Amino acid sequence: MSKKRVPKLCLVSSSGGHWEQLKKLQPLIDKYDGFYVTEKTHFDADAKYLMCQTDLKDKLMPFKMLVNAVKTLYIWFKEKPDFIITTGTMVAYPFYLLAIIFKKKFIFIETFGRANMPTVAGLKMEKNTDLFIVQWESQKKFYKKAIYGGCLY
């Protein structure tokens, strides 16, 4: 009798509120094999992998994204995730691209903090998501694939 492999989950988000929301998915990590990825900041984060913190206004952002892309490749080939789950933002983008290339499931959960407007990350990543969840009913009008999932808080 062959035993089915447990799916491996990669939960990735930027720091701050995105990270706090993502941590609410701990029951998934407890049930399945999984790991967290977030940005390294002066706050403690119990993620297995820490990436460079990125911000669109940062002059070093392109360099930091390149560093994160290399780290993402390392993580991807070491961990071999089946599902990528994110609440955003830029730190998740390399994982999003690899999920497309390697045909892995990509789940995007739009941030709770944007009830009345879409996010850049959401608009960019929606097209190739397997599941796009919003935390406010009002967010559904901004995205074609969105389903309302309730709030993580």
Q: Are 98 and 114 in contact (CB under 8 A)?
A: no
Six-digit token pair at 139? 């967010």
Q: In the prediction, which pLDDT does 75 show?
A: 98
Q: In the prediction, which pLDDT does 117 show?
A: 93
Nearest-angstrom CA–CA distance, 96 and 49: 16
Instruction: Choose between 95 and 153: higher pLDDT.
Output: 95
- Whether 37 shows a pLDDT value over 90: the answer reads yes
Nearest-angstrom CA–CA distance, 63 and 60: 5
Q: In the prediction, which pLDDT does 2 show?
A: 55
Give a three-class secondary structure readout of the chain: CCCCCCCEEEEEECCCHHHHHHHCCHHHHHHCEEEEEEECCCCCCCCCEEECCCCCCCCCHHHHHHHHHHHHHHHHHHHCCCEEEEEECHHHHHHHHHHHHCCCEEEEECCCCCCCCCCHHHHHHHHHCCEEEECCHHHHHHCCCEEECCCCC
Strand partners for 107: 85, 131
pLDDT in tens, 60-83: 999 999 999 999 999 999 999 999
- Whether 20 shows a pLDDT value over 60: the answer reads yes
Domains of the chain and any CATH numbers: 8-148 (3.40.50.2000)
pLDDT in tens, 108-143: 999 998 889 999 999 999 999 999 999 999 999 999
Six-digit token pair at 135? 């935390």
First and final C-alpha spacing in the chain: 41
